[in-house]
């Protein structure tokens, strides 16, 4: 079966994608992008990180990762 995926990718290069991972409710992590995109809240840091990295790669953005863990 042929799949015509005509998903217009936003090629707005002016839009900056800066993804970082934030803590949600103590036990969850979530990737957040400056464009407004939100990843799912994950209990696994690697999953949350992976999702954020995927978004950054997809939109040619930057991934800054998880902010210093165990802070404050």
> Which residues bind to Zn ion, rule: CB under 5 A?
17, 33, 35, 37
Q: Could you tell me the smallest distance in angstroms from the CB atom of residue 66 to Zn ion? A: 17
Q: Could you tell me the smallest distance in angstroms from the CB atom of residue 19 to Zn ion? A: 6
Name the residue nearer to Zn ion (CB basis): 36 or 71.
Answer: 36
Name the residue nearer to Zn ion (CB basis): 28 or 37.
Answer: 37
- Name, in order, each residue with C-beta under 8 angstroms of 32's C-beta and a sequence gap of 6 or more: 19, 20, 21, 22, 38, 39, 52
Alpha-carbon gap, residue 58 to 41, rounded angstroms = 19
Name the residue nearer to Zn ion (CB basis): 19 or 29.
Answer: 19
Q: Measured between alpha carbons, how far is residue 59 from residues 20, 31, 52, 69, 72 in Å?
A: 14, 14, 11, 26, 32
Q: Could you tell me the smallest distance in angstroms from the CB atom of residue 33 to Zn ion? A: 3
């Amino acid at each position: 079966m042929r799949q015509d995926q005509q998903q217009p990718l936003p090629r707005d290069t002016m839009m900056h994608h800066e993804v970082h991972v934030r803590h949600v409710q103590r036990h969850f992590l979530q990737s957040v992008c400056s464009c407004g995109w939100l990843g799912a809240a994950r209990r696994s840091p690697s999953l949350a990180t992976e999702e954020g990295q995927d978004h950054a790669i997809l939109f040619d953005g930057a991934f800054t990762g998880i902010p210093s863990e165990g802070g404050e």
